[in-house]
Amino acid sequence: MKICESCSFPMNKIEDFGGKNFDSKYCKYCAPDGKLRSKQDVRNGWIKVTMMKEKLSEEEAAKKVDEKMKKMPAWKK
């Protein structure tokens, strides 16, 4: 199993990979057409998902996402 280098989403099936390409480093959410979305777009989506899944406020989710993003290879540059 590969992990998205942008958001850590697990990629198991071809549908999980950006652009439906097994060689993609990014998932279908971060790179729907195979090209990585902007950091701000990825961050905003990740915050929304974190708020829903973990029942956090936007501020709490943003702090959590920002900490995780710092560790992701796509955003270390």
Domain tally, the chain = 1
Among 61, 12, 1, 11, smallest CA distance to 31 is for 11
% of the chain at pLDDT higher than 90: 96
The model carries a pTM of 0.89
Query: What is the pLDDT, as a whole number, of residue 14?
Result: 97
The phi-psi region of residue 64 (left if phi > 0; otherwise alpha if psi is between -120 and 50; otherwise beta) is alpha
pLDDT band at 76 (very low <50, low <70, confident <90, very high): confident
Domain extent at residue 9:
2-75
DSSP the chain: -EE-TTT--EE-SGGGBGGG-TT-SSBTTT-TTSSPPPHHHHHHHHHHHHHHHHT--HHHHHHHHHHHHHHSGGG--
